[in-house]
């Protein structure tokens, strides 16, 4: 049976920090990243691709805001904005993938799925919203929106008198269409799914699917997706070539191979910063704990060069 890998595109895989975010920039970054996946296809892997959506969904929210203020167009809720970003980014990845495969004379079907991800409405995250989304408002604007829409705001540290909306970031519980993803992926179709962490939904008391005004960590959702479809390997493509311990200290050290026990120990010691590397480490650990063979964290454009990347397994690689 062909090996199955789930690839999570993040960091500069789609958009680099020094770029304005034009479609030309995003398409070129996507193409460069997808070129690095070709070796997996040539080695016979089946692929599922997932991706982040932070800058893109932020822009959608700001367009929402401008449309309401200028043209009186009703704002769409956060779940619709996440779905919009899944469709737009998925389309871009799918189209660039078609062109990359054509260049390498590889024939594979590609499909993008708008993906719902279940969360638990009793998750403590709903009592403590922390994820900042959308534009920055002044105190008067944020106060009015809090009153009119019930939104919560937190003061921005780097912007004087700036306030930004915060939403919960609950744990993903299940990928609603993972069986479809697995069936198609194992048949050889390249599946793009669970973008931006998925659209957060929950089941109400009647068993109906309801939207949750929240966002899900894309790496944790990617890890859950990888475990759900029985993937052998899980890759997180970001903007660093390796994971470091003692990062930015005189004794900073690259780690190329980590076993699960040492990874858990370093995480407990605070070696990985919250808000950057720690969520990625947790996602990789969860995949290994659920039976995955290997997780890899590496730079988006260096995956094909196997000398790069930190590999996490149950035990050390020989």
| pLDDT tens sequence across 263-285 | 999 999 999 998 889 999 999 99
- Based on the fold, state whether residues 146 and 79 are members of the same structural domain: no
Catalytic residue among 11, 88, 90, 195: 11
Query: 11 catalytic, yes or no?
Result: yes
Give the closest residue to 287 by CA, choosing from 10, 6, 1: 6
Q: Pick the residue with more confidence: 10 or 203? A: 203
Q: Are 104 and 243 members of one domain?
A: yes
Query: Do residues 28 and 113 both lie within one domain?
Result: yes
The CB density around residue 69, as the number of other CB atoms within 10 Å, is: 11
Judgement on whether residues 56 and 203 belong to the same structural domain of the protein: yes
Please give the Cα distance from 143 to 290 (Å, whole number): 44
Q: Is 236:265 a contact under the CB 8 Å cutoff?
A: no
User: 142-200: per-residue pLDDT in tens?
Assistant: 999 999 999 999 999 888 889 999 999 999 999 999 999 999 999 999 999 999 999 99
Whole-model pTM?
A: 0.94
Task: Give the integer Cα–Cα distance in Å for 258 and 281.
Answer: 11
Copy the structure tokens of residue 27.
């398409």
Tokens of 114: 């708008």
Residues 267 and 295 in one domain: yes
Say what the pLDDT of residue 193 is: 98
107 labelled catalytic? no
Pair 314, 261: CB distance under 8 Å: no
CB 119 within 8 A of CB 200: yes
Query: Sign (positive/negative) of CA torsion 273, 275, 279, 281?
Result: negative
Does one domain contain both 67 and 14?
Answer: yes
Does the annotation count 139 as an active-site position?
Answer: no
**160 or 313, which is more confident?**
313
Catalytic residue among 280, 292, 309, 311: 280
The domain boundary, picked from 139, 167, 195, lies at: 167
Q: Is 140 in the same domain as 234?
A: no
Provide the residue range defining the domain that includes 151: 129-167
Q: Which of 46, 53, 64, 218 is catalytic?
A: 218
Q: Give the residue with greater pLDDT, 317 vs 4.
A: 4
Q: Please indicate, yes or no, if residue 31 is contained in any of the structural domains.
A: yes
Q: DSSP 3-state assignment of 172? A: coil
Among 131, 188, 230, 302, the active-site one is 131
Q: How many whole angstroms separate alpha carbon 62 and alpha carbon 77?
A: 12
**318: pLDDT confidence band, cut at 50, 70 and 90?**
very low
Q: Does residue 318 sit within a domain?
A: no
Are 81 and 148 in a shared domain? no
Active site annotation includes 280: yes
Same-domain check for residues 231 and 98: yes
Active-site entry in 12, 36, 53, 177: 12
Alpha-carbon span 102 to 96, nearest angstrom: 10
Our count of domains for the chain comes to 2
Active site residue 131: yes
**CATH code at 47?**
3.40.1160.10
| Cα Dmax for the chain | 62
């Amino acid at each position: 049976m062909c090996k199955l890998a789930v690839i999570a595109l993040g960091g500069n895989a789609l958009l680099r920090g020094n770029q304005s975010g034009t479609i030309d920039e995003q398409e070129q970054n996507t193409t460069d990243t997808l070129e690095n996946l070709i070796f997996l296809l040539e080695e016979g892997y089946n692929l599922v691709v997932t991706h982040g959506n932070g800058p893109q969904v932020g822009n959608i929210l700001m367009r929402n805001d401008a449309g309401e203020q200028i043209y009186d167009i009703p704002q769409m809720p956060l779940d619709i904005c996440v779905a919009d970003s899944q469709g737009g980014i998925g389309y871009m990845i799918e189209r660039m993938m078609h062109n990359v495969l054509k260049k390498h004379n590889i024939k594979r079907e590609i499909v993008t799925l708008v993906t719902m991800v279940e969360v638990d409405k009793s998750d403590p995250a709903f009592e403590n919203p922390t994820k900042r989304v959308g534009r920055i408002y002044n105190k008067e604007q944020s106060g009015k929106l809090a009153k009119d829409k019930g939104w919560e705001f937190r003061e921005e540290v780097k912007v004087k008198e700036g306030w930004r909306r915060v939403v919960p970031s609950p744990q993903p519980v299940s990928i609603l269409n993972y069986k479809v993803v697995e069936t198609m992926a194992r048949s050889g179709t390249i599946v793009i799914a669970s973008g931006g962490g998925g659209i957060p939904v929950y089941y109400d008391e009647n068993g109906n699917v309801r939207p949750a005004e929240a966002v899900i960590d894309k790496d944790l959702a990617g890890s859950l997706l990888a475990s759900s479809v029985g993937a052998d390997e899980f890759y997180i493509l970001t903007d660093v070539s390796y994971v470091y311990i003692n990062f930015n200290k005189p004794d900073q050290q690259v780690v190329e191979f980590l076993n699960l026990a040492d990874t858990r120990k370093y995480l407990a010691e605070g070696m990985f910063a919250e808000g950057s590397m720690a969520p990625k480490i947790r996602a990789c650990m969860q995949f290994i704990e659920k039976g995955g063979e290997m997780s890899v964290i590496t730079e988006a454009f260096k995956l094909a060069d196997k000398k790069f990347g930190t590999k996490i397994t149950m035990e050390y690689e020989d």
